[in-house]
Structure 1
Amino acid sequence: MLNDWRTQAEAFHEAFGQMEVAEELNLDGVWLAERHFAAPNRGVGIPSVISAPLIVASAIAARTRRLRVGIAVHVLPLGNPIRMAEEVATIDHISQGRFDFGIGRSGFPRVYEGYNIPYSESRERFQECLEVMLKAWTTEQFSYEGKYYSFHDVCVLPKPYQHPYPPVRIAATTAETFPQVGHMGYPIFVGLRGMTQSDLGYHLKVYREAWQEAGHAGTGDVILRIPIYVAETAAQALRDPEASTMRAYQRLGEQFGRSAGRLGTVASEERVERAQRLSRVTYDDLLAERVAFGTPETVAARLQELREALGLTGVITEVNCGGVIPQDRVLNSLRLFAERVVPQLK
C-alpha cells in the first residue's frame, strides 16, 4: 500500500518483498485488490498503487514457483471482457495453473466516474462481462450480442491453463448480492468492514439457502478477508496496528459518505448509515469483532471461532490494514502467522 511517507517505488518493492516471504513460509497464496485513484491525501479509499492487478499478478507468478496468485477483486465493468479473458488466461499459463480470479463490481461510484462509465450500468455490465469471458475460455469461436458488449465470430487465445478456466470467486458485500451469487453457484469473498459478525452470519445463511435451492452440490464456499496482526506480546499486537487500522476505517467511512446519493447508487440511506457507523467506530469496537490482532494463541483462537461460527473455507489475511505499519513489523507478523498460527488451524 501507499502512504504519506512511502514512495510509489517503495510501495511496489515492499509488496513484492511480502510475496517472497509468503512463498518462503509456504502460505497458500496471495491476493491483490484493484484500487483506482487511491492517492494518500486526496484519493478514493485506502491508498494503493495496485491499479493494474493483473500485471502485478503476472510479475508475482513469474517470481514464485508454489504460491497461488489471486485477484480480490477485479472490477469487471471497468474493462473489456475479451481483453480481460486474454490476460487472465495468459497469467494462468505464466503461473502454470496457480491463478485464482476474484471478481466484483465495486461499491464506489467515484471509480466509475473516473472511467466515464455510469455506475448505474455496473450490475448489467458485470453480468455481460462474466458471460463473455466464460464463452471466451470455453468456446473455440463465438459471437455475443449484449446491451453493452457485442462480438462477432471471435476466437480468443490462449485458453486457460486450468480446465475449463481458473477458479472464479465473487465478492459479496450487499444484501442483494448474497442470494444472487448463491443461486449462480459461485464461491464468495466476504468481510466484516461494513457489517457485524451477526449480520454476516445472516447473509451467509441466505447465500447457502439460495445455493441449495438452485441445486448446487455442497453448501457453498466462503473466504473471509480480515485484518490480522500477530506479535510476541498482546500489548505490542494491539499497539502496532492501531493508528494504521483506524486510518483505514476513517477513510472507508468517508468513502461511503461521499458515495451516498451519487448517480446510479441505490440504498443511499444504507450507505449513509454505514458511513455514520464507521465514523463512530472505536479501536475497541474493531478489536471486539472486525479484526484478529494478538499473540499467536489468541489469533488462532479468534480465527477458529470465526471458522466455526461462519462456516468458512479459508481466510485472507490483510497484513497491513491502512498501509502504515512498518515493513519489518509486517514481515514479523507474517512469519508468526505462518509458523505459529496456521499450524493450530489445521
Structure 2
Amino acid sequence: MMPSEPCPSPDLLIAQAFLKTKRIKLAPGAFMLPFHHPAELAHRISWLDHISEGRLMVGIGASGTNLDLEMFNIDHKSGAHREMTAESIAIMTRFWESEGPFEYRGKYWTVRRPADQMDKCSGYHLKPFQQPYPPIGVTGLSASSATLGLAGANGWIPISFCFTPQYLHTHWAAVERGALEAGRVAPSRDMWRVSRPFFVADTDKEAWRRSVGGEMGRYFREDYLPMLAGNNALGLLKHHPDVPDSDVTVEYVAQHCWIVGSAETVRQRIEDMQEQSGGFGVLHIMCFDHLDDLAATRDSYAALAGIVANDFA
C-alpha cells in the first residue's frame, strides 16, 4: 500500500532476475507471511529454489504497513500478524522437512500433507533444492527487537534494519537471548547483517548533494518520513529520544541515519558502527531508484565495495 514500493509479488521479480544471472544469490526482503497461505507459499519458494539451482535466500516478515494489514482484515493491534508469521513459518518448514503425511491444526490455518496416491504417481513432491530449505533471514528495526530474538531461536539470519546505531548492540543481544531461550548455541556474528542507506562520492559535499538532493532524499521526504509520522514512529530515526518530531527532516536523517560522504568519511562511519555494535559480518545497502543518477550510483557502489574489501574484509 505504498506507491513508492509497488512490488506485491517479489518472487515474480526474482524469477526474472534468475533468468538473467548465473551466480548471484537473490532474496525477497521480504515475503509478508500473514498475506499468503503457507502451503501455497512453501511450494512457490521450493520452485524458485529449483529454477535458481539453490541461489535463493528467503526473507520473511510480519507486515509492511498498517494499511496492508487492514486490507487483509488482520488485527495488528492485538499482534495477530506476529502470531500468523510464527504459525506460517512453522507450517512451511514442516512441509519442507516432512517425510510423510501430517496434519497441522493452527489458530489461523489448518493444512495437511496427504498420503501419496496411485503408487506415488500423485502426491507431495516439491521440496526445496537446498536441504532442508533455503537460508531464512528476518529483519528487526526497533531496539531489542523481538523479531531478531526469533532469528536467534531458530538459527535464522538476523538482519538489522538500522538507522540509529546507538541501539545496534541491543539487536545482537536479542539474537543471543533468543538462542539461549531456545537452547541453541549463540550464532556467529559473521551471520549478522546490518542495513543502512549509503552514498559515497569524491567529497562529503558531493555525496550530500547527490543523496539529500536525489532519490534518497525524495523517498524520505515524500514517502518514508510521512509514513513514520503517521504511525507515530519517528522515534526510530532519532539519535536521542528528546529530539522533537519536527526536527526529523531529510537533512536530519542524512546526518544521523545515513552514511554519506567521501570514502574516508564512510570508512570511519562504518568503523564506528562496528565498534558500537560489537561487530557484524555483512553490510547491507538500502537501495533506491537510481536511474536518474545511474553513473554516480554505480560509482558509489564500487567505492563502497572497495572500502569494505580493503578495510573490513
TM-score, normalization: structure 1?
Answer: 0.74
Segments of 5+ residues of structure 2 without an aligned counterpart are: 115-122, 238-242
Distance in 2 (alpha carbons) for counterparts of 1:306 and 1:211: 23
Which residue number in structure 1 is paired with residue 92 of structure 2? Answer: 133
Secondary structure of the structure 2 residue equivalent to 1:171: strand
How many Å apart are 1:137 and its aligned residue? 1.0
Does 2:110 match 1:150?
yes
Which residue number in structure 2 is paired with residue 160 of structure 1? Answer: 128
Secondary structure of the structure 2 residue equivalent to 1:50: coil
Q: In structure 2, do the counterparts of structure 1 residues 216 and 288 end up closer, same or farther at CA, with 3 Å as the change threshold?
A: farther
Secondary structure of the structure 2 residue equivalent to 1:68: coil
Distance in 2 (alpha carbons) for counterparts of 1:182 and 1:338: 28
Distance in 2 (alpha carbons) for counterparts of 1:272 and 1:287: 14
Task: For 1:23-42, list aligned pairs within 5 A.
Answer: 37-39=1-3
Q: 1:245 aligns with which of 209, 213, 216?
A: 216
Which residue number in structure 1 is paired with residue 303 of structure 2? Answer: 336
Amino acid at match of 1:96: E
Distance in 2 (alpha carbons) for counterparts of 1:314 and 1:161: 24
Question: Which digits, 9 at most, give the CA deviation of each residue in 1:2-48, with x for residues without a partner?
Answer: xxxxxxxxxxxxxxxxxxxxxxxxxxxxxxxxxxx222xxxxxxx12
TM-score, normalization: structure 2?
Answer: 0.82
Amino acid at match of 1:247: R
Does 2:161 match 1:191?
yes
Question: Which digits, 9 at most, give the CA deviation of each residue in 1:194-227, with x for residues without a partner?
Answer: xx32223224323323323433224453211111
Distance in 1 (alpha carbons) for counterparts of 2:135 and 2:154: 14
Which residue number in structure 2 is paired with residue 33 of structure 1? Answer: none
How many Å apart are 1:285 and its aligned residue? 3.6
Which residue number in structure 2 is paired with residue 182 of structure 1? Answer: 152
Q: In structure 2, do the counterparts of structure 1 residues 70 and 277 end up closer, same or farther at CA, with 3 Å as the change threshold?
A: farther
CA contact (8 A) 2:225 2:234 kept: no
Distance in 1 (alpha carbons) for counterparts of 2:257 and 2:81: 28
Does 2:265 match 1:327?
no
Q: 2:265 aligns with which of 288, 294, 298?
A: 298
Q: 1:307 aligns with which of 274, 282, 290?
A: 274
How many Å apart are 1:111 and its aligned residue? 0.9
Q: 1:318 aligns with which of 280, 286, 290?
A: 286
RCO higher in structure (CA 8 A, sep ≥6): 1
Aligned residues: 290
Distance in 2 (alpha carbons) for counterparts of 1:286 and 1:272: 11
Segments of 5+ residues of structure 1 without an aligned counterpart are: 1-36, 40-46, 261-270
How many Å apart are 1:180 and its aligned residue? 4.2
Does 2:225 match 1:257?
no
- Percent identity between the aligned chains? 24
Looking at CA atoms only, which structure, 1 or 2, has the larger radius of gyration? 2
Does 2:211 match 1:229?
no
